[in-house]
Structures are given as C-alpha cells and as structure tokens.
Structure 1
Amino acid sequence: MKRDKPKYKQIVDAAIIVIAENGYHQAQVSKIAKEAGVADGTIYLYFKNKEDILISVFKEKMAIFIEDLEEILKRNISTSEKLFKMIDNHFRLLHEDRYYAIVTQLELRQTNKELRMQINGVLKEYLTLLDNILKEGMDNGTLDDSIDIRLARQMVFGTMDETLTSWVMKDQKYDLMKLSVGVHRLIMKALQA
C-alpha cells in the first residue's frame, strides 16, 4: 500500500507546508517535490495531480482525528466528557500542526465544488462519530432529546470550526488550547436537557 511508503508521507507532509505557505492555487507540484526532496516525476508515482495530493493530505490527517475520536468513544466516561475530549483533541491536533491548521481552515475552502464534495465525504465519518456522542447524550438524558441532531452537529462542529478559523486568521497568536473549556461549556449549555 502506497501510504506505508516513506516517500508518500514525505510528499504529504511537504504538501501541507507548501500549500500553507503559498496557498493552494500557487502550490505547484514542483514546489511540493522540492520541499519533499524528491524529483517532480516521483510525485506522479503516488498522486494523479495536485487535487489528488490535497485530498490525500486531508484523508491522511483526518484519519488521525477519526482514530482519536473512536478511542474517546470507547472510554467509560460521560457524554459531556466525551464532547470535551473531542473538542480538546480537535484543537490540539491543529494547534500542534500550524501548517495543517492553515490548510484546513483557509485553503480547503478555496477549492472548487468537486474537491469540496470529496473533502465533505472524508469529513462525514468524523461527523458520524460526533452524532454518536450526541445520540448517546439524548438517550441518557444529558442532552435535550428534542433537539434536531443535524442542527446540534452543525452547532458543535461549526463552533469548533469558527474558533479555529479565527485563531488561524489571527496568526495563531493566542493559546487555542485555553479555549477548549469555554467552547465545551457553551455547547453543553446550549444542548443540555
């Protein structure tokens, strides 16, 4: 499998840096190859084109978010704690990778509709796990069971997303991790039974 090959990872990591520093539209494959320390042609052994690189970057990184959230869901902790751990983990992963934060919060939004649809497909699995937390809370009486789950999902993910976008737009000048508690508290107050 190509994902297990070191050059594949080098190219994905290089693409994140190049896209974050230059913007998606100015991120030429040759710049990605140079950053990865590979020949331009090597890129095409792993990826069809620049769009494929971007989707692969998102899939590879999103897999980490999904794995972490699956682990959180397995824990014997309250719905509120699961929601907090999800928010905190989401923020931490982007806080620890400032280039990827720029790519997710700014560059992915500037792509064409077809690319955004593919990105939404990858994101769907993560949002389904969020739905599981919300359903659990509605079933156990922690969260208001009359809330429309789609609206609740949009509120939770949208709040996290907007908080991250503001942090990126302000050049990551403040401690994002300090916001986990406040975002969690706000969401819980809105959703509680």
Structure 2
Amino acid sequence: MKKNKPKYHQIIDAAVIAIAENGYHQAQVSKIARQAGVADGTIYLYFKNKEDILISLFQEKVGMFAVKMRESIQIKAKAAEQLRMLVENHFTMLTEDPHLAVVTQLELRQSNKELRLKINEVLKEYFLLIDQILQDGIDNGEFRSNLNIRLARQMIFGTLDEMITTWVMNDQKYDLTASAPDVVEMLLNGFSAEKRR
C-alpha cells in the first residue's frame, strides 16, 4: 500500500512546507518534489495531482490526530477532562508544526468548493469525537441535559479554529498551548460569574 511507503510520507511532509512557504497556488508539484528530494515523476506514483496531495496531507495529519485523540481520551472518565485534553492536544499539534498550522488555517481556506467539501469529510471524524465528548458529559450529568450538541460542537471547534488562525496571523509569537486551560474554562462555564449546570 502506497501510504506505508516512506516516500509517501516524505512527499506529504515536503508538501506541508512547500505549501506553507509558497502558498497552495504557487506550490507547484516541482517545488514539492524538490522539497521532498525526489524527481517530479515520483510524485505521480503516489498522488494524482496537487489537489490529491493537499487532501492526502489533511487526511494524514488531521485524520490521524482524530484517531489518536479518540484513543487517548478514552482513559479520561470525565467529559471535562476529555475536552481539556482535546483542546491542549489540538493546540500542541499545530504549535509543534507551524507549517501545518499555516496550511490548515490559511491555505485550505483559499481552495475551491469541491476541495473544501473533501476536507470537510475528513473533519467529520473530528466532529464526531467532539460530539461523543459532549454526549458523555450529558450522560454522566456533567453537562446539562438539554445541551444542543451541534451548537456546542460548533462553538468548540470555532473557538479553536479562530485562536489558531489569530496565532498564525500574529507570526506565532506567543505560546498558544498556554491558553488552553482558559479556553476550556470559558467553554465549560461560559462568561457568567456563577457556574451554570
């Protein structure tokens, strides 16, 4: 299987850097090949075109993150702890790979509608994970029984997405992961002086 071959991952990692540094539209396949240290033709042994590379890198990086998160949150009994772990790991993943942060927050937004729909397919697994955390919280009495899961998920993902975009736009000058506890606190308690159930 192509995904198990070292060159596949080499090209994916090179594409993240090439797209982050040049922009998606300026990151020709030849630039990605040069960054990967392979011949242009080698790219086409693994990918149909540049769009396929972008979708594959998103599946590989974000898709695998969702799978790993699902495994790691299962050891946390409380939904609040699961949410804390999700937020911290989401921030950590992108702060440890600034090029990936640029690609996910800026370059993917400039892609065409068809490409964005394919990317949303990858995000579905991540959204299901957030939904599971919220449902667990409702089931064990941590979150209110009438919580609108879809709206709560949009708030969680929207908050994380906006914070990472702002961090990228500010040239990654501050510690994003350090803000995770405050983000979780606000998501769990809202902005009121009293904790609401």
Give the TM bin, normalised by the shorter chain. Answer: over 0.9
SS in 2 for 1:71: helix
CA RMSD of aligned residues (A): 1.2
Deviation sequence 1:128-184 (CA, Å, 0-9, x none): 011000001111121122121110000001001101000000000000111101110
1:41 and 2:32 equivalent?
no
**Where does residue 58 of structure 2 map in the other structure?**
58
**Where does residue 173 of structure 1 map in the other structure?**
173
SS in 2 for 1:106: helix
Give the letter aligned to residue 166 of structure 1: T
Query: What is the correspondence of 1:39-188 to structure 2 with a 5 Å cutoff?
Result: 39-188=39-188
Give the distance between the partners of 1:42 and 1:87, measured in 2 at CA. Answer: 37
What is the aligned-residue identity percentage? 59
TM-score normalised by the chain length of structure 2: 0.95
Deviation at 1:99, TM superposition (A): 0.3
**For structure 1, which runs of at least 5 residues remain unmatched after alignment?**
none
Whether the 8 Å CA contact 1:72–1:86 is kept in 2: the answer is: no
SS in 1 for 2:20: helix
SS in 1 for 2:24: coil
Give the distance between the partners of 2:161 and 2:186, measured in 1 at CA. Answer: 14
Deviation at 1:192, TM superposition (A): 5.2
Q: How many residues align?
A: 193
Deviation beyond 4 Å, 4+ runs, structure 1: none
TM-score normalised by the chain length of structure 1: 0.97
Give the letter aligned to residue 27 of structure 1: A
SS in 1 for 2:181: helix
Give the letter aligned to residue 154 of structure 1: Q
Whether the 8 Å CA contact 1:19–1:27 is kept in 2: the answer is: yes
Whether the 8 Å CA contact 1:92–1:177 is kept in 2: the answer is: yes
Deviation sequence 1:10-61 (CA, Å, 0-9, x none): 1000000000000101110000000000010110010000000000000000
Question: CA, structure 1 residues 192+49, in 2 after alignment: closer, same or farther (shift >3 Å)?
Answer: farther
